[in-house]
């Protein structure tokens, strides 16, 4: 363990965030990490408790608690406390293919299940993870390690998000020859064209892709499987195909006036900013992207994607930002029926919302509210939105509680730009139909429980396309498990470890 009395001797210290009014002037990550010495002290706070929930990755009351990758958190906390940064990296890399991504974007399920967090601040595990991986890059431990022997087996991975990248990384390390097909111009999936730069600067994806290429993985970008390449050809050319195409089908808002000019899906909006920044040396040029500059913006959806839209709109220079959430506000503290180490169902004020508060003087979130109608001007441009308040009511037929409009509660607000961040419905059917894979009621690709092989011979699946919209850490976990199953099906056994 770190230091036996570390959790009593030292307080939690975490990376510091640049002040909201300063950080909105740029699109870069805005945390200043601790020094190596300070981070070692944070490692000392870990008690290596008898039951380290931080690494359990268990399901409690339908929500994950602890790290889904079973990262060996107490082990690397101890290693950094003792200054053994190299070994800490190998322990971290044993269970996590991409700590450079999770250490930036993971909601840190580990910290919410940390025993220290039962009655005081949890161990700063996510920052420790960040320090370990960034130190590994600086010192050169994080480098290409190509397999010594090739098996002669060929794998096609469709989709280069965290799930596809994990499958590729694992199977390549086993000596199989892996080609990743990606329809976008660059690999990374939602890491690249969903999650904004402020949370994950894109050069960190390129840094890892370069290593993966040096290790022998081939990336074929701007190649849309099901359109540019036919599944039958892939199944002929490759021994196994893994579908990791994400859950990219956005949920729409069906309200009158939806066709008005100025209504976009969140990912299209975020992607246009990322692309424009990347192609213009991190500067935004008018006309190159979907702009919120000088506009009244309404973000529909109170989740993390909605928050990313709020932060991005503010950086564009929006006139006002409103974020609509259908559900009531969550409590500020854990409710009695939501004890530790369950995932805390509390109101989180994320970076975009903090920035909105700093710029406009109030929280952008409006709860129990949705859009009833989009109003357009004579030219077909969005100019207003009619909002309506909602209340929970029991549906007589199903017995389920549903959010229902309160008659007479409508009000109108100005709106020039609406961003729909209302979640995703599942996989896109041109891919699933082209391969003939079965999907479930949510259009996720169907497999037996805990399995990754589909109904089509030699075709496997992983990530959001399989489990539905989720998190990067789950995509990595799925990628590791799917790779194991693929390897076993090819070789008759596998020595790839999931944990
Ligand atoms: C705006 C936004 C912010 C998010 N923020 C976070 C966060 O902060 N933390 C977190 O943990 N999670 C976050 N998520 C969720 C997370 O990004 C996803 O759960 C994760 O990326 C899923 O990984 P995946 O590999 O399954 O799919 P994806 O990342 O969606 O990758 C799928 C890839 O497949 C490609 N593809 C699809 N069809 C084809 C085809 N036919 N041929 C070739 N290529 C194809 C797509 O272009 C894409 O690149 C966020 C999601 C969004 C939308
Ligand atoms: S991957 Fe996420 S949950 Fe796991 S240790 Fe890292 S920050 Fe915690």
Domain assignments of the chain as residue spans, ordered by start: 6-139, 154-248+425-491, 263-420
| Torsion over CA: 92, 98, 102, 103 (sign) | positive
Say which DSSP state 53 is in.
Answer: G
Q: In what order do the strands lie in the sheet with 296-300?
A: 263-265, 417-420, 296-300, 320-324, 365-366
Query: 111 alpha carbon to ligand 2 midpoint, in Å?
Result: 8
* Pairing verdict, β 240-243 and 459-461: parallel
Report pLDDT for 498: 79
* C-alpha to C-alpha distance for 204 and 202, rounded to whole angstroms: 5
pLDDT in tens, the chain (499 residues): 778 899 999 999 999 999 999 999 999 999 999 999 999 999 999 988 877 899 999 899 989 999 999 999 999 999 999 999 999 999 999 999 999 999 999 999 999 999 999 888 999 999 999 999 999 999 999 999 999 999 999 999 999 999 999 999 999 999 999 999 999 999 999 999 999 999 999 999 999 999 999 999 999 999 999 999 999 999 999 999 999 999 999 999 999 999 999 999 999 999 999 999 999 999 998 889 999 999 999 999 999 999 999 999 999 999 999 999 999 999 999 999 999 999 999 999 999 999 999 999 999 999 999 999 999 999 999 999 999 999 999 988 888 999 999 999 999 999 999 999 999 999 999 999 999 999 999 999 999 999 999 999 999 999 999 999 999 999 999 999 999 999 999 999 999 987 7
**What pLDDT score does 419 carry?**
98
Task: Give the 3-state DSSP-derived string for 275-322, with helices as H, strands as E and coil as C.
Answer: HHHHHCCCCCCCCCCCCCCCCEEEEECCCHHHHHHHHHHHHHCCCEEE
Q: Which of 95, 201, 307, 16 is nearest to 110 (CA)?
A: 95
Compute how many other C-beta atoms are within 10 angstroms of the C-beta atom of residue 337: 8
pTM (predicted TM-score): 0.96
Distance from residue 76's CA to the centre of ligand 2 (Å): 12
Secondary structure element (H or E) that encloses residue 17, with its range: strand 16-17
Kindly give the distance from the C-alpha atom of residue 367 to the centroid of ligand 2, in angstroms, as a whole number. 30
263-420 matches 154-248+425-491 in CATH topology: yes
Q: Are 273 and 196 in contact (CB under 8 A)?
A: yes
> Which DSSP state fits 240?
E
Q: Can you tell me the distance from the alpha carbon of 434 to that of 300, in angstroms, rounded to the nearest whole number?
A: 32
Q: Which one of the ligands is nearest to 352 CA?
A: 1
Which atom in ligand 2 lies closest to the alpha carbon of residue 66?
3
The alpha carbon of 91 and the centre of ligand 1 are apart by a number of angstroms equal to 26
Cα 130 to Cα 117: distance, rounded to the nearest angstrom: 20
Tell the residue nearest (CA) to atom 35 of ligand 1.
159
Give CA–CA dist 210/44, Å, rounded: 34
Handedness of CA 159, 162, 165, 171 (dihedral sign): negative
**Buried b or exposed e, range 355-378, using 16+ CB within 10 angstroms:** bbeebeeeebbbbbbbbbbbebee
Residue 296, CA distances (Å) to 9, 274, 310, 319, 382 in order: 49, 21, 12, 5, 10
19-33 burial: b if 16+ Cβ within 10 Å, else e: ebeebbeebebbbeb
Query: What contacts 107, CB < 8 A, 6 or more positions away?
Result: 304, 471
Q: Domain spanning 6-139: which CATH class is it, in words? A: mainly alpha
The architecture (CATH level 2) of 154-248+425-491 comes to: 3-Layer(bba) Sandwich (3.50)
Contacts 24+ apart (CB under 8 A), 10-17: 10/41, 10/42, 10/44, 10/45, 11/121, 12/42, 12/45, 12/120, 12/121, 12/122, 12/123, 12/124, 13/38, 13/41, 13/42, 13/124, 14/42, 14/124, 14/127, 15/127, 15/130, 17/351
What is the C-alpha separation between 117 and 119, in angstroms, rounded?
A: 5
Q: How far apart are CA 418 and CA 374, in angstroms?
A: 9
Distances (CA, A) of 434 to 201, 224, 311, 327: 34, 12, 38, 38
* Alpha carbon separation from 110 to 56, 125, 230, 450 (Å, rounded): 8, 7, 42, 22
- Which ligand gives the minimal distance to the CA of 299? 1
Which pLDDT score is estimated for 52?
80
d(CA 310, ligand 1 centre) in Å: 20
CA-to-CA distance for 231 and 433, rounded, in angstroms?
10
Task: Choose the residue to mutate in 105, 108, 117, 162 for probing ligand 2, maximizing ligand atoms within 8 Å of C-beta.
Answer: 108
Measured distance CA(483)–CA(422) in Å, rounded: 31
Helix (H) or strand (E) holding 111: helix 109-112
Q: Please state at what angle helix 36-44 crosses helix 73-81, rounded to 10 degrees.
A: 130
CA distance 391 to 112: 30
The CA dihedral of 477, 479, 482, 487, to the nearest 10 degrees, is: -120
Phi, psi (degrees; rounded to nearest 5) at 391: -140, 150
Class of domain 263-420: alpha beta
Classify burial at 90, counting beta carbons within 10 Å of its beta carbon; exposed 0-12, middle 13-18, buried 19 or more. middle
**Cα gap 343→53, rounded to integer Å:** 12
Distance 189 CA to ligand 1 centre (A): 5
Ligand 1, residues at Cβ distance < 6 Å: 105-106, 158-164, 181-184, 189-191, 194-195, 199, 224-226, 244-246, 248, 266-267, 270, 304-305, 308, 431, 463-465, 470-473, 475
Q: Who's near 466: CB < 8 A, 6+ residues apart? A: 163, 444, 445, 447, 452, 478, 482
- Of 191, 226, 224, 233, which is closest to residue 209 (Cα–Cα)? 191
Q: Does residue 482 contact residue 142 with C-beta atoms inside 8 Å?
A: no
**Minimum CA distance residue for ligand 1 atom 12:** 471
Q: How far does residue 8's CA lie from ligand 1's centre (Å)?
A: 40
Cα–Cα distance, 467 to 476 (Å, whole number): 12
Q: Residue 211: name the closest of 119, 267, 277, 136 by CA.
A: 136
């Amino acid at each position: 363990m770190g230091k036996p009395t570390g959790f009593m001797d030292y307080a939690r210290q975490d990376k510091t965030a640049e002040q909201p009014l300063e950080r909105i002037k740029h699109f870069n990550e805005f945390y200043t990490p601790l020094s190596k010495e300070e981070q070692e002290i944070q490692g000392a706070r870990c008690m290596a408790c008898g039951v380290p929930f931080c690494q359990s990755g268990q399901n409690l009351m339908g929500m994950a608690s602890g790290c889904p990758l079973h990262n060996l958190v107490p082990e690397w906390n101890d290693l950094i406390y003792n200054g053994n940064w190299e070994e800490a990296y190998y322990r971290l890399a044993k269970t996590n293919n991409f700590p450079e991504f999770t250490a930036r974007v993971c909601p840190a399920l580990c910290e919410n299940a940390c025993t220290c967090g039962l009655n005081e601040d949890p161990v700063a595990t996510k920052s420790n993870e960040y320090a370990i991986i960034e130190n590994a890059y600086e010192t050169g431990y994080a480098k290409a390690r190509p397999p010594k022997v090739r098996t002669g087996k060929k794998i096609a991975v469709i989709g280069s998000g965290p799930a596809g990248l994990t499958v590729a990384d694992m199977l390549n390390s086993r000596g199989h020859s892996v080609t990743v097909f990606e329809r976008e111009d660059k690999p990374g999936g939602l890491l690249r064209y969903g999650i904004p730069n402020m949370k994950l600067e894109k050069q960190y994806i390129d840094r890892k892709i370069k290593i993966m290429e040096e290790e022998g993985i081939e990336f074929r970008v701007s190649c849309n499987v099901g359109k540019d390449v036919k599944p039958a050809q892939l199944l002929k050319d490759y021994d196994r195909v893994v579908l990791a195409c994400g859950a990219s089908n956005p949920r729409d808002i069906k309200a009158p006036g939806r066709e008005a000019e100025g209504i976009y899906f969140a990912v299209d909006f975020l992607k246009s900013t990322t692309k424009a920044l990347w192609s213009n040396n991190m500067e935004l040029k008018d006309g190159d992207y979907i702009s919120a500059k000088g506009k009244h913006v309404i973000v529909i959806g109170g989740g993390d994607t909605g928050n990313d839209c709020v932060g991005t709109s503010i950086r564009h220079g929006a006139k006002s930002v409103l974020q609509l959430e259908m559900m009531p506000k969550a409590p500020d503290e854990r409710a009695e029926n939501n004890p530790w180490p369950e995932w805390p169902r509390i109101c989180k004020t994320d970076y975009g919302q903090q920035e909105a508060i700093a710029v406009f003087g109030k929280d952008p979130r409006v709860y129990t509210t949705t859009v009833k109608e989009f109003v357009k001007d004579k030219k077909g441009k969005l100019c207003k939105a009619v909002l309506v308040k909602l209340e929970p009511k029991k549906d007589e037929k199903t017995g389920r509680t549903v959010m229902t409009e309160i008659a007479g509660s409508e009000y109108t607000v100005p709106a020039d730009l609406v961003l729909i961040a209302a979640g995703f419905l599942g996989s896109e059917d041109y891919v699933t139909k082209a391969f003939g894979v079965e999907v479930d009621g949510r259009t996720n690709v169907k497999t037996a429980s805990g399995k990754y092989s589909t109904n089509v011979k030699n075709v496997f699946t992983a990530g959001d396309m399989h489990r539905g919209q989720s998190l990067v850490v789950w995509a990595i976990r799925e990628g590791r498990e799917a790779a194991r199953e693929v390897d076993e099906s090819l070789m008759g056994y596998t020595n790839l470890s999931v944990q």
